[in-house]
Chains A and B, each alone.
Chain A
Amino acid sequence: MAENETVSGSDKENDDQRARKALSEAGLVEIRLEEFAQRIRDVKSLIMVRLRELIDIGNNIKERESAAYSLGTLKVLELKLLAQDSQRSDSPES
């Protein structure tokens, strides 16, 4: 029992370490202000890859819908950032 707990605790630590490493490498732990648009595009690309996989598999409609919704959310945010950038560059102060 104790051994199982240790293994389970160790698995959790390994999962955490993997997650931290993955996020750190992807530049997603604390996103630099000037990199938001690019990070949104990176995550959108990842979702699209997964969405294609799900469509190919042909099942798991719930995950497909959820992925599509996440993609839509990120698209809205990306467009908003682009609009703000465009307003800034049009502004006489810039």
Chain B
Amino acid sequence: MNLLAKQIRAEANWPPEKGEAVSFTSSTSSAVLNPPETAVLKEVRWGLVWRDFVLEDGRVIPEHRVAGCPQPQAWRNVSEVTEAERQECEERLVSMAGAGMDPRKRDQPFWTDLNQYLAYTYLRFKQTGNGHPDAE
């Protein structure tokens, strides 16, 4: 019961607000090699699958790497993503690639967008290809 109360309180205060300091791991690898960092939150926004935390320094951190994030994190269902939103993301990705940006720069907008786009596209076609109702 205590645990549940704590969880409800944490979820009620989640996500943090703009201007708050947030702690996060800089990588999914070992916490010993990559101790948590702290930075100021600029914005929390939904990607195609999960929420991203945009920091004042320009880095973009997926919600699951932010300390205090309720488990499991909220994810969007593939069907919630509009066609316009998907096209916008596709155009943004092509534009960033055309501008010579490298998606292999961790925690940068291109890396984040491509991660989310691949995850979303995988779920979208994996589901429809396996007899999902959307397939009809």
Asked whether, in the complex, the Cβ of B126 is within 8 Å of the Cβ of A77, the reply is no
Give the secondary structure class of B's interface: helix
Q: What bracket does the count of chain A residues touching chain B fall in? A: 35 or more
Complex contacts, A28 vs chain B, CB 8 Å: 115, 118-119, 122
B36 interface residue (CB < 8 Å to A): no
* Interface bits A5-18 vs B (CB < 8 Å: 1, else 0): 00000001001110
Closest to A37 in B: B104
A55 interface residue (CB < 8 Å to B): no
B128 interface residue (CB < 8 Å to A): yes
Asked whether, in the complex, the Cβ of B122 is within 8 Å of the Cβ of A46, the reply is yes
Asked whether, in the complex, the Cβ of B118 is within 8 Å of the Cβ of A43, the reply is yes
Closest chain-B Cβ to A73's Cβ sits at a distance in Å of 5
Known: A49-B129, A70-B90, A84-B102. A77 touches B97 (CB 8 A): yes
The listed residue (A16, A33, A70) touching B121 by CB distance below 8 A is A70
Asked whether, in the complex, the Cβ of B122 is within 8 Å of the Cβ of A26, the reply is yes
B54 interface residue (CB < 8 Å to A): no
Give the secondary structure class of A's interface: helix
Asked whether, in the complex, the Cβ of B122 is within 8 Å of the Cβ of A23, the reply is yes
B94 interface residue (CB < 8 Å to A): yes
> Measured between alpha carbons, how far is A17 from B78 in the docked complex, in Å?
13
The listed residue (A12, A39, A66) touching B118 by CB distance below 8 A is A39
- Give A residues with C-beta under 8 Å from B: 12, 15-17, 19-20, 22-23, 26, 28-31, 33-34, 36, 39-40, 42-43, 46-47, 49-50, 53, 60, 63, 66-67, 69-70, 73-74, 76-77, 80-81, 84
Q: A28-B122, A70-B121 are in contact. List 20 more A-B contacts (CB 8 A).
A: A16-B75, A17-B72, A19-B49, A20-B75, A22-B126, A23-B123, A28-B115, A29-B64, A29-B119, A31-B114, A31-B115, A49-B129, A50-B125, A67-B125, A69-B87, A76-B97, A77-B97, A77-B103, A77-B114, A80-B97
- 15 A-B residue pairs with CB within 8 Å: A17-B72, A23-B122, A26-B122, A28-B118, A29-B64, A30-B65, A31-B115, A36-B114, A42-B122, A46-B126, A46-B129, A47-B121, A49-B125, A66-B83, A69-B87
